[in-house]
Chains A and B, each alone.
Chain A
Amino acid sequence: MTIMKKLLASAVASALMVGGAQAEISNNTVKIGYLADMSGTYRDLSGPNGLKALEMAIADFGGTVKGAKIEIVTADDRNSPDVASSTVRRWLENDNVDMVAGLVASSVTIAATKVIEENDKLGLVNGSAASSITNEYCTPNHIHYTYDTYALSIGTPTAIVKEGGKTWYILTADYAFGHAMEADVTRVVEANGGEIVGSIRHPFPTPDFSSFILQAQASGADVIALANAGADTTNAITTAAEFGVTQSGQTIAGLVVFLSDVHALGTEAAQGLQLTTGWYWDMNDETREWSDRFMKETGARPTMVHAGIYSSTLQYLDAVEKTGSDDAQTVRKQMMDTPINDMFTKNGRIREDGRMVHDMYLAQVKTPEESSGEWDLYKILRTIPAEEAFRPLADSKCKLISSK
Chain B
Amino acid sequence: MSMIFGVPMAVLSGQLLIGIINGAFYALLSLGLAVIFGLLKIINFAHGAMYMLGAMGTVILFDNLGVNYWVALFLAPVLVGIVGVLVEYFLLRRIAGQDHIYSLLLTFGVALIMQGILTNIYGVSGLRYSMPDMFKGGVNLGFMFLPYYRAWVIVAALLVCFGTWFMIEKTKLGAYLRAGTEDSQLMQGFGINVPLLVSLTYGFGVMLAAFAGVLAAPIYSVTPVMGSHILIVVFAVVVIGGLGSIGGAIITGVLMGVVEGLTKTFYPPASSAVIFLVMVIVLMIRPHGLFGKEA
Chain B residues whose CB sits within 8 angstroms of the CB of A234 once the complex forms:
125-126, 221
- Cβ proximity bits B261-295 to A, threshold 8 Å, 1 near / 0 not: 10011001101110000000000000000000000
Flag if A174 contacts B145 (CB, 8 Å): no
How many angstroms from the CA of A200 to the CA of B11 in the assembled complex?
A: 15
Q: CB within 8 A of B21: which of A210, A230, A266?
A: A210
Residues of B close to A67: CB separation below 8 A: none
Give Cα A239–Cα B126 distance, bound, in whole angstroms: 14
Q: CA separation between A314 and B21, bound complex, in Å?
A: 52
B94-102, B116-124, B187-195, B235-243: which lies at the interface: B116-124
Count the B residues whose beta carbon is within 8 Å of the partner chain — how many? 42
With beta carbons under 8 angstroms apart, the residue of B19, B130, B268 that contacts A268 is B130
Known: A203-B271, A264-B221. A215 touches B265 (CB 8 A): yes
**A349, CB-defined interface residue at 8 Å:** no
CB of A242 within 8 A of CB of B219, answer yes
A40 adjacent to B124 (CB under 8 Å): yes
Question: Which residues of chain B come closer than 8 Å to A266, judged between CB atoms?
Answer: 128, 130
Q: With an 8 A cutoff between CB atoms, is B149 at the interface? A: yes
Complex-state Cα separation, A203 to B269, whole angstroms: 6
Are the C-beta atoms of B229 and A207 separated by less than 8 Å?
Answer: yes
- A264-B128, A265-B128 known; A215-B223 Cβ under 8 A: no
Q: Which of A44, A200, A238, A242 contacts B123 (CB 8 A)?
A: A44
User: B200: CB under 8 A from chain A?
Assistant: no
Smallest beta-carbon distance B287→chain A, Å: 28
Q: With A211-B15, A214-B14, A215-B265 in contact, do A206 and B272 touch (Cβ < 8 Å)?
A: yes
Q: Which residues of A contact B225 (CB under 8 A)?
A: 40-41
Q: Is A211 within 8 A of B18, CB to CB?
A: yes
> CA separation between A118 and B22, bound complex, in Å?
49
Rounded to whole angstroms, the CA-CA distance of A181 and B285 in the bound complex is 42
> Could you tell me which residues of chain A, from 257 to 280, have a CB within 8 Å of some CB in chain B?
260-261, 263-266, 268
Residues of A94-122 contacting chain B, CB below 8 A? none
Q: Is B10 an interface residue (CB 8 A)?
A: yes
Minimum CB–CB distance from A138 to chain B (whole Å) comes to 31
CB neighbours (8 Å) of A217 from chain B are: 145
CB neighbours of B271 from chain A (8 A): 202-203, 211
The reply to whether B18 and A239 form a contact with Cβ atoms under 8 Å apart is no
B131 to chain A, nearest CB (A): 7
Interface flag for B127 (CB, 8 Å):
yes
Considering only CB atoms, which chain A residue lies closest to B15 in the complex?
Answer: A211
Chain A nearest CB from B233 CB (Å) reads 9
A200-B268, A207-B229, A207-B230 given; A43·B130 CB < 8 A:
no
Closest Cβ of chain A to B15, distance in Å, is: 6
Indicate whether A208 reaches chain B with its CB closer than 8 angstroms.
yes
Give the Cβ gap from A341 to chain B, nearest Cβ, in Å. 31
Give 1 or 0 for each of B232-268: 1 = CB within 8 Å of chain A CB: 0000000000000000000000000000010011001
Structural contact, A43 and B138, CB atoms closer than 8 A: no
* Interchain nearest-CB distance for A231 vs B (Å): 6
Kindly identify, within residues 128 to 184 of chain B, every residue whose CB is under 8 Å from any CB belonging to chain A: 128, 130-131, 137-138, 144-145, 147, 149-150
Min CB–CB distance B160 → chain A (angstroms): 20
Known: A206-B272, A207-B230, A218-B8. A243 touches B147 (CB 8 A): yes
Interface pair B125/A44, CB less than 8 Å apart: yes
Contact with B along A36-57 (1 / 0, CB 8 A): 0001110111010000000000
State whether A207 touches B226 (Cβ < 8 A).
Answer: yes
User: Do B219 and A239 have beta carbons less than 8 Å apart?
Assistant: yes
The answer to whether residues A39 and B272 also contact, given A210-B21, A218-B10, A242-B149 and a CB cut-off of 8 A, is no
Q: A201-B269, A205-B229, A234-B221 in contact; A210/B124 too (CB < 8 A)?
A: no
A208–B271 alpha-carbon span in the complex (Å): 11
Given A47-B123, A203-B269, A214-B14, 16 more pairs with CB closer than 8 A? A39-B116, A41-B225, A44-B125, A201-B269, A203-B268, A205-B229, A207-B230, A208-B22, A208-B220, A210-B18, A211-B19, A212-B264, A218-B11, A234-B126, A242-B150, A263-B125
Closest 6 pairs between A and B when the two form their complex, measured CB to CB: A203-B272, A264-B125, A211-B264, A264-B126, A44-B125, A44-B123
What are 20 A-B interface contacts by the 8 Å CB criterion? A39-B124, A41-B225, A43-B119, A44-B123, A45-B125, A200-B268, A201-B268, A207-B220, A211-B15, A211-B261, A212-B264, A218-B8, A235-B221, A242-B219, A260-B123, A261-B125, A263-B125, A264-B128, A265-B128, A268-B130
Residues of B within 8 A of A (CB): 8, 10-11, 14-15, 18-19, 21-22, 116, 119, 123-128, 130-131, 137-138, 144-145, 147, 149-150, 219-221, 223, 225-226, 229-230, 261, 264-265, 268-269, 271-273
